[in-house]
Structure 1
Amino acid sequence: MKRRRNAIVLLALSCLAAAPGRCQTTDAPASVRAGRPSDLIRALGETQDRLAMGDAGAKARLPALIARLADEFLAFDPQLYAQPRNLQAAVAYTLGGGQPRVMRRILQSGVAPQDQTDLAAGALAYAEGREDKARDLLGKVDPLAAPPSVAGLLALAKAALTAKTDPAGAARLLDQARVLAPGGLVEETALRRSVVLAYAASDFSRFVSASSQYFRRYARSLYADDFRRSFAAAVARFGLADEPERRSRLAELLGEMDESYRVDLYLNMARVGLLTGRAASARAAAEKALDVARDGAAGARARLYAGAAKIVGGDFEEGAADLAAADDAKLGRDDRALRAFVVRLASQLSSQPRASERDEAQGAASDDSSASKLIGAAELSLSQTAGLLKGGRP
């Protein structure tokens, strides 16, 4: 009790020093004076939505805000959580990345309305990583019938819980999340996850549609760079060089983006194409990047990837010229390692004896096999030394 009185005195003194004449003191916690628990969740939602808009400051403030809100939720009289609106605010806090101790305390108090306990207990299980329990409890709650304050977050959580066992159902839930909570972090997250699910299901139409919406709506998101790398990897692995219709739809999608963003995507696509054995895709993407960026680091990377793809495809002379034009000083460490390996690859392939006309087809097949083995060795070597395939930039 003495410690609490001292804290109140210190608070009053600091307030008077900052704003004399405007400071009032009371023995009640600030959160109790604020009104209801339902008033608190707005601050968290607004801050998280700022992340989707690219506000780095909001990301820096978020951990402290989550911790402070936990204290404020717990400072209220537990009986307030017998009111559905206040309990739902605590559910939204929990599903939105809040500390599980808030919901744990509320459930222990036994005040939650009976018809809300599955939602509350499911949110707690989800926050604690007890997926089976969360799946069972939240599976009984329909996001479309849930209160607006929790509906989008609930759909997002249920999609995460069912993505492996029911990808189609998870995709529908992500669509619901976007409709129920548009214009913020819930929708941004739902779009990102929709692209991942579409890729896993080889659903190219959904992949392009969700990607297009993401790039148009959330290009400035703090998660956009990670999304862009994943998108480039997925595009390369879809094998677009062999699908004219897909190439056309992709070109239309990329045409919606600003130039620097588009170049970076093409470079990532070229790199992933090389490291996954899709030389034609890599060459096409690198040449697209060169059409726009011929100088600087982007130009050096584009020439490197174009040259490497040409060499793998058997065009040694033109590929070597591209490699020579790729300024080593403008390449990152990983790309310099890739360039050194491709130079050795070109030397080995070009030194192989040419097949006679009679054996030309057989010799070409042999060359393809040798190139494939060397690229496989390159992938292994680079993944071990530079982290290209595990943890590095795709």
Structure 2
Amino acid sequence: MAIRRLSLCVLLSGLAAFAAGSPSHAQSVDETLEPYRMLRSLQFVQDTVIRGDHSAADMQRFMLGTIDERLRTADPKIFQDPRNVDAALIYAMSGGNPATLELLVARDIEGNFDNRVSDALRKYLTGKGTLIAKTLGDMAVEYKNAKIGPYLALVAGNVTLAKDPAAALKFYDWARLTAPGTIVEEAALRRSLAVAVDAKIVDKASLYANGYARRFLYSPYASQFADLFVRFVVEHYDVLKPADIDATLGYMDIDRRREVYLRVAREAAIAGRKELATMAADQAKLLSGSEEGADALAKLYGSLVGVPTENVDDAMAVLMNIPEDALSPRDRALRQAAETVAKEVLRKPEPAAAPQAPPPVDAPQAGEAVEAAATDQELQDPFAQPQAADAAPGEAEVQPAAAESGTPPAEQAEIDPELRTFVDAGRSKLDAIDDLLQKEGP
């Protein structure tokens, strides 16, 4: 790590001196720099960032801009060197300006660029990659031993994912195995975990989660990994072994481990998974030490699952003893939802009358939404699947129909979906009890 930091400092100082020089000197130096050499610096900086040195993030943006300018002003003859062609393609796949690749291909009258690759990448970068998924897959196989191989494999995985998750996993595996320790491996591992969780491939998901935690825990994209891991544990706890969870969390420091357990406890409580919520809350308490806020959250999440049960009185006693200032607005709203469910549990049924819907939860205002759980500010993922130009932002987000939840549309827009899940789960149990009493009669 010390050697890496020293190398980064040398790189930064050299580029700073280059940027601070006179315009004429900068221009002359710029014209002598080969794009493939500049790309190596970009790759070094990107790999430094995903290993945890977030101070290099600004240099990453600077390098992308510098390479972009160099490629745009370069003499077309320099692309007679295949290394510079590869550099241009890798730059485009690493978060570079797609318009620059368009420009270079338009100027290429000597056929230095493989038109099949450049055309496929241009479609991918404009959000039309799924239309040429097979083409990109074939190219990834053809170029698998070339410099652009790992990047093409990653791109092929992205566009293959929608129709063939198993094939996408193979592309991601190839990408990470041919570019170990790089930003390519980090992105491939993160995406592989998402695929395995969605496809319910528990053994592979455990393997990917363990590999990510071991190698890239301090990446600026690690909050995405944490989201996936929490979801993985909550959805598959019934078949997961505690050792599998401990193996991944064992790479984390105490603070991160406690945060993950708290998030697992919260999601499990909302989903009504009592055993998991209790286990995660207990683990979070053990890791809290003297930190009152974390201990309060552990008590909150651990007690929520007891609300719609016969232990409702004990659960609510614990919940109401948690200091108000120890909870975020979102968690205060969650406790309020639990109180609403508790009142319904304790409400005396009226078997002679038709079951009445309980009053809606007094939801927090829209402005009280809690900030994202990620501690570190994330960079834009350079390997994210580009969105189609004709797709409207948020188009895929479908709001639940008011008729399904029984909540008026005006109020439904304000209720946190997680709180609605918790309240609806409690109401479903109460409705079942009321139906049973109705059948038995007075």
The change in CA–CA distance for 1:53 and 1:190 in structure 2 (over 3 A counts) is: same
Structure 1 range deviating more: 274-283 or 264-273? 274-283
Answer whether contact 2:85 2:113 (CA < 8 A) is retained: no
Given that 2:214 and 2:248 are in contact with CA atoms closer than 8 Å, whether structure 1 keeps it comes out as no
Aligned to 1:30: 29
Residue identity opposite 2:86 in structure 1: Q
**Contact 1:31–1:73 (CA under 8 A) maintained in structure 2:** no
With over 3 angstroms needed to count, the CA separation of the structure-2 counterparts of 1:125 and 1:166, relative to structure 1, is same
For the Cα contact (< 8 Å) 2:157–2:167, is it kept in 1? yes
Amino acid at match of 2:305: A
**Residue 29 of structure 1: how far off its partner (Å):** 4.8
Distance 1:264 1:215 in 2: 14
Alignment of 1:79-94 (within 5 A): 79-94=77-92
Partner of 1:127: 125
Report the equivalent of 2:334. 338
Cα deviation digits, residues 166-201 of structure 1 (max 9, x gap): 100100111111111111211111111111000111
Name the residue aligned to 1:230: 228
| 1:32/1:88 CA distance change after superposition, 3 Å | same
Please give the per-residue CA displacement for 1:356-386, whole angstroms capped at 9, x wherever unaligned.
Answer: xxxxxxxxxxxxxx99x99x789x9998436
Q: State the match for 1:8 in structure 2.
A: none
Change (3 A) 1:389 1:313: same
CA distance in 2, matches of 1:91, 1:105: 12
Would you say 1:323 and 2:344 are equivalent positions? no
3-state SS in 2 of match to 1:311:
coil
Aligned length: 351
Code of the residue aligned with 2:76 in structure 1: it is P
Query: What does residue 414 of structure 2 align with?
Result: 385
Q: Which amino acid aligns with 1:281?
A: L
TM-fit CA distance, 1:24: 9.5
TM-score, normalising length from structure 2? Answer: 0.71
Aligned residue in 1 for 2:431:
none
- Distance (Å, rounded) in 2 between the aligned partners of 1:306 and 1:377: 28
Query: 2:249 & 2:45 partners in 1: Cα distance?
Result: 30
Q: Rate the CA distance shift 1:51–1:26 in 2: closer, same or farther, 3 A.
A: closer
Higher relative contact order (CA 8 A, sep 6+): 2
CA displacement at 1:40 relative to structure 2: 1.7
CA contact under 8 A between 1:279 and 1:312: conserved in structure 2?
A: no
Contact 1:383 1:389 in 2 (8 A): no
Which residue is 2:210 aligned to?
Answer: 212
TM-score (normalizing by structure 1): 0.79
Report the secondary structure of 2:138's partner residue.
coil
Q: CA deviation at 1:144?
A: 7.1
Alpha carbons of 1:97 and 1:134: their partners in 2 closer, same or farther (altered >3 Å)? Answer: farther
2:250 is aligned with 1:273: no
Which residue in the other structure is 2:245 paired with? Answer: 250
Distance 1:277 1:382 in 2: 24
Residue pair 2:52, 2:220 contacting (<8 A) in 1 also? yes
8 Å contact kept, 1:94–1:100: yes
Give 3-state SS (helix, strand or coil) of 2:241's partner.
helix
Aligned letter for 1:45? Q
Return closer, same or farther for 1:136/1:255 CA change in 2, 3 Å cut-off. closer
Mapped to 2, the partners of 1:93 and 1:42 lie a distance apart of 10
Corresponding residue number in structure 2 for 1:363: none
Identity over aligned pairs, percent: 25
Q: Which amino acid aligns with 1:33?
A: T
What is the deviation of 1:72? 0.7
What amino acid maps onto 2:414 in structure 1? T
Superposition RMSD in Å = 3.2
- Which residues of 2 match residues 1-394 of structure 1 at below 5 A? 25=24, 29-34=28-33, 36-111=34-109, 113=111, 116-132=114-130, 134-143=132-141, 145-146=143-144, 148-238=146-236, 240=237, 242-243=238-239, 245-293=240-288, 295-352=291-348, 384-385=413-414, 387=416, 389=418
Going by fraction, where is helix more abundant, 1 or 2? Answer: 1
Q: Aligned in 2, Cα 1:25/1:68: closer, same or farther, shift over 3 Å?
A: closer
Measured in 2, the distance between the counterparts of 1:71 and 1:114 equals 20
